[in-house]
A and B are shown apart, each in its own frame.
Chain A
């Protein structure tokens, strides 16, 4: 009787352990694909930010190619239930995120310097124009003096 109880308990333990292993594997795989999907969306958000911050169309096209490749891997991972494809997608998405961040930073810096230089030139031109208007009579005098000197020399 005791043997029967132990045997039933053993079988139950074996069944429950094999069931839990199966679940871990199944959930592990879906978690990997979910991770790949999240990383892809995150990469897209960062590429979009870089785009809005003024990155060049060429840079955005390059990043979009990477995103499309990562998307292909992710679709293969889903279709074939493949961890390898999910990992490839995840890695490419993470690489693209890093590139997008650096592109966004470069674009932000470039935009800042462009704006600073444009407004500096505008302010300098404003000062120059103000001086020109205020001192135009001196310029006229100088021209007049120059003409007089030429007439005297002749």
Chain B
């Protein structure tokens, strides 16, 4: 083979390698850390002032219009479920690895959220009635139009706690799993809001 052709083939291979690498770089998805973020927002759209200045005291019959803001940065559409529970000052908290299974569940709300989008989920609730039993106050509630009677009471109606958990649908196990899929393990993001039944 003439040396000219060999040089041409070598140059062609080298240049093609460089240009194909550049093409691969531009065609590849940019690396990004996958995560989900969320918060429970007051009617004024802030992460505070949930009770309009009444310091956590909720009056029977007064509706509170909160909403969840849930951001999906997981790289693909997610099927998300918000689980809400009612506890008191002695309830065991859900944490980053385990949900609050021991705390009674009041309900769930589900939504599909495309990647890089934030969805708003309404959470309207009120205390419909209170019942005192041996120093404990038990409450009946209306959450998103549904009546619930949690089996949890609080001493003198003080220091109830709402727990909110984010669950995502796992295609492999065909079920909702606590938190979202992190790099090595699942990441739980529980939220809580204290209140008193006034």
The chain A residues found within 8 Å of chain B, CB to CB, are 41, 44-45, 47-48, 51-52, 57, 60-61, 63-64, 67-68, 71, 75, 79, 114-115, 118-119, 121-123, 125-127, 129-131, 133-134
Q: Taking the nearest CB of chain A, how far is it from the CB of B25, in angstroms?
A: 11
Q: Quick check: B8 and A130 within 8 Å, CB to CB?
A: yes
Contacts of A67 in B (CB 8 A): 79, 112
Given the complex, which residues of A lie within 8 Å of B27, measured CB to CB? 114-115, 118
Which residues in B have some Cβ–Cβ distance to A below 8 Å? 4, 7-8, 11-20, 22-23, 26-27, 75-77, 79, 110-117, 146, 169, 171, 174
Q: Known contacts A119-B23, A123-B19: does B112 contact A68 (CB below 8 Å)?
A: yes
- Determine whether the beta carbon of B15 is less than 8 Å from that of A61: no
A41 CA to B173 CA, complexed, in Å:
12
A51 close to B76 (CB less than 8 A) = yes
A125 and B11 contacting across the interface, CB-CB below 8 Å: no
Query: What are the residues of chain B within 8 A of A126 when measuring CB–CB?
Result: 12-20
Residues of B within 8 A of A129 (CB): 11, 15, 19
- CA–CA, A67 and B80, complex, Å: 12
- Chain A's closest residue to B116 (CB) is A57
* Contact across chains for B26 and A118 when beta carbons are under 8 A apart: yes
Are A130 and B15 in contact, CB atoms less than 8 angstroms apart?
A: yes
Q: With a CB–CB cut-off of 8 A, which chain A residues contact B11?
A: 129-130, 133-134
CB<8 Å pairs between A and B, sample of 9 = A41-B169, A52-B76, A64-B113, A119-B23, A121-B19, A122-B16, A122-B19, A126-B16, A126-B18
6 closest Cβ contacts across the A-B interface? Answer: A126-B16, A130-B11, A122-B19, A126-B15, A130-B12, A129-B15
**Which residue from A44, A57, A121 sits with its C-beta under 8 Å from B79?**
A44
Q: Hey, which chain A residues are within 8 Å of B116, CB to CB?
A: 57
Residues of the B chain whose Cβ atoms lie less than 8 Å from the Cβ of A115: 27
User: Residue on A with the closest CB to B174?
Assistant: A41
Q: Which residues of B are found within 8 Å of A122, using beta-carbon distances? A: 16, 19-20, 22-23
Q: Roughly how many angstroms separate A11 CA and B115 CA in the complex, as a whole number?
A: 61
Residues of A within 8 A of B19 (CB): 121-123, 125-126, 129
**Beta-carbon contact of A118 and B23 below 8 Å:** yes
Q: Which residues of A contact B7 (CB under 8 A)?
A: 134
| Bound Cα distance A98, B20 (Å) | 35
CB-based contact A64/B114 at 8 Å: yes
User: Would you give the shortest CB distance from B47 to chain A, in whole angstroms?
Assistant: 25
CA distance A118 to B75 in the complex (A): 24
A60 near B20 (CB under 8 angstroms)?
no
Pick from A64, A123, A133: contact of B20, CB below 8 A: A123
